[in-house]
Chain A
Amino acid sequence: MSAALALARREFASFFRAGVGWAVLTLFLLLAGAAFAIGTLRPGAPASLRDFFALGHWLMLFIAPAVSMRSLAEETRSGTIEPLMTAPVSDWSIVLGKYLGGAAFLAVLLAPTALYAAVLLSIGGTDAAPMLAGYLGLYLLGALYLAAGTLCSALASSQAAAFLGALFLLLFLRFAAVQGGAAAPAPFDRVLYALAPELRLADFSKGVIDSAHIVFFLAVSGWLLTLAVVALASRRWR
């Protein structure tokens, strides 16, 4: 476990050392700020972050793959995977360390947007609870997308391939679940809808914290990370 934490620490620090982290951070805050200023901060709009969270889903679709693309693909490309995998560290620790480092960076990305919540609260007429629930939902969603990105990074041998792979995987799943759910006949539409993280996020931003949603996000993330471990272990046999 201490190895996983050490790897997470290194991964987290590398975002700031490598420049990519700053680029992602800037881009995210720019887009999130524009969305907040245009969508929410206008006369007559409800003092809620619901629109921001709805858009946050789309931002995460691009941001999470960008955060996770380096994790394992860059180690493969530069060859540092070899000293890493010959250290007495389990494949699970490697994947978990990479993932936790990315998740910590994701928290840093989201933190400045708390300013928007502060603005709305100072204007008044609103409740902090749905905002907190919304943040929890958005973070869980980001963590799930990050797990998918980590899986793609474990499979790919370049950052670009990892990014595009994760982006297309997430877009495909999103459309399969949401559009597929709209098209499917009665019993199946509910199954498909249940698989759409976006719809679960909507509940959070209404202030509903459903434990089923939390279990869903954690279980799917865990499952994706397990696949990433398998992908990493399979390198030894290729």
Chain B
Amino acid sequence: MLVADRLTRSFSGVAAVRDASFEIPRGQIVGFLGPNGAGKTTTMRMLSGFLPPSSGRATIAGFDTVDDSFHARRCVGYLTEANPLYPEMRVRSYLAHRATLYAVPRRERSHSVDRALERCRLADVRRKRIGALSKGYRQRVGLAAAILHKPPVLILDEPTSGLDPAQIAETRALLRELAGEHTVLLSTHILPEVERTCDRVIVIARGRIRADDTPADLLERSHPSPPYIVELRPASGDDPRAEPLDIFRAIRGVASAQVERATPDGWRRLLISAAPDAPDLREAFAHAARDHGFLVRELRRESASLEGLFSRLIERAYEGDAAPEEPSP
């Protein structure tokens, strides 16, 4: 449905995006992740037909974004990052205006505007001037304008930026609803957002694609064996019969153990890493602690997070090409 083939765009000789290639099949909802300035917006602008690529090509529903830009643009609903709107226009007439630009047939225009108003929960403000709306409502107007003409592809540049948590949850629900009918590429900073909403994640940093996988597989790959946390103290008196680190190190499957924190009242927090192929060791830890007379108040396995992975990928990107960018031809 959406294909990027070695997309490259440079501004005055400096490459903002280099050799970005990916393919999004119909109905998939893909998160586009990256720090500010990584090239997300530039990539999305190339896909939406706003910027032509310096080299490489992109197709939307089979239409080339440059050679067949007109058809490609018709197949895209695009929400830009800043979501600029005409403040003096009223919500409904703005949407009607956009519907005309997208050549929605006259007979269906009113119906598709009403449908978009309803889906984005804008019905109660449809007569209001856009300039008088809150940020959350304006964002919904932008989204309504993007889905008006029922495009097969939605490109949403930070649809949740600047919204409060309740509005983010609302937008997420809306996006999940839309995913059924549209192929969606959305960029965001909010990682839990991606884990919950997206089928797939593409990570971009310094203009290059660094990872492209499902959230679960990415986590699996990044964190094959998340560490364990055990917090304990000697059960009776202040004379431990054995050093807890030695006890845990002796358990099969443990790669290393260290004290992360010790409190004055005797509690010690241990961070234990397991060998990559070790089974779940929590039960073994519980037995060992009890057998050696330790009292445990916390025992858990660190859950892998995209956050950690994300920062590692980005760090690597910056270490990897710390050399100055060579100007592209």
The segment out of B44-52, B244-252, B285-293 that lies at the interface is B44-52
Q: Which B residues lie within 8 Å of A10 (CB)?
A: 86, 89, 97
Give the residues from 99 to 119 in chain B that come closer than 8 angstroms, CB to CB, to chain A: 100-103
- Hey, which chain A residues are within 8 Å of B80, CB to CB? 79, 82-83, 86
B88 to A2, Cβ gap below 8 A? Answer: no
B52 touches A86 (CB 8 A): no
- Which one of B28-36, B71-79, B220-228 is at the A interface? B71-79
A90 interface contact, C-beta 8 A? yes
Count residues on chain B whose CB falls below 8 Å from chain A CBs: 26
Q: How far is the CB of B316 from chain A (nearest CB, A)?
A: 32
Chain B nearest CB: distance from A199 CB in Å? 40
Knowing A88-B70, A88-B103 are in contact, say whether A83-B97 is a contact too (CB < 8 A). Answer: no
- With known contacts A14-B88, A79-B84, A236-B51, A86–B76 Cβ distance under 8 A: yes
Which residue of chain B lies nearest to A236 when distances are taken between CB atoms in the complex? B52
1/0 per position for A1-37, CB-CB distance to B under 8 A?
Answer: 0110011001000100110000000000000000000
In the complex, what residues of B have CB within 8 A of residue A3's CB? 100-101, 103
The contact of B101 among A6, A17, A78, A237, by CB within 8 Å, is A6
Contact A86 B101 (CB under 8 A): no
CA distance A2 to B104 in the complex (A): 11
Does residue B85 face the partner (Cβ distance < 8 Å to A)? yes
Contact between chains at A14 and B86 (CB < 8 Å): yes
CA–CA, A143 and B50, complex, Å: 30
Q: In the complex where A17-B89, A80-B85 touch, is A86 in contact with B48 (Cβ < 8 A)? A: yes
A114 near B: Cβ within 8 Å? Answer: no
A87 interface residue (CB < 8 Å to B): yes
Report how far A160 CA is from B88 CA in the complex, Å: 20
B88 touches A17 (CB 8 A): yes
A89 in contact (CB, < 8 A): yes
Contact assessment for A86 and B73 in the assembled complex, using a CB-CB cutoff below 8 Å = yes
Residue numbers of A with Cβ under 8 A of B are: 2-3, 6-7, 10, 14, 17-18, 78-80, 82-90, 236-237
